[in-house]
Amino acid sequence: MSAPRPPCPPWCTADHEFLASCTSSGSPFFIGSDLTATMSAYARRYPGAGVEVAVNGKLHLGKPREAEALAVLLEQLADATPGQHRDLAGQVRAAAALLGWKEEG
């Protein structure tokens, strides 16, 4: 029998029927004129493993190759507007704030 799950933090929006981790919401946005990439950032807590800020980039490729997929993601980030970069930075900061992390500096 597994240990009982600790209570979810107030920022958790996960459906625990399908996810073991607690996650906040992060609104993905499409990058590039052909809309082949998405980016999002959110807070996540794994049972027994602590908390993190997750930044996800997804490429929609038929047969992804790791090096080429990374090159495409970097090109897509280069094509993102300054506003999209600020939106992603805001999502990273919001996810860190949900975890109680303070900016250094």
Query: Residue 95 is encoded by which pair of tokens?
Result: 């996810």
Residue 48: is its pLDDT beyond 50? yes
Range from 23-37, 46-60, 77-91 carrying the lowest mean pLDDT? 23-37
- Of the chain, the end-to-end C-alpha distance in Å amounts to 45
In the chain, % of residues over pLDDT 70: 78
- Domains of the chain: which residue ranges? 22-98
Q: Is the pLDDT higher at 84 or at 103?
A: 84
Q: What rounded mean pLDDT belongs to the chain?
A: 79
The two beta strands, 37-46 and 22-23, are: antiparallel
Task: Report the predicted TM-score, pTM, of the whole model to 2 decimal places.
Answer: 0.56
Look up residue 62 and give its DSSP letter. Answer: S
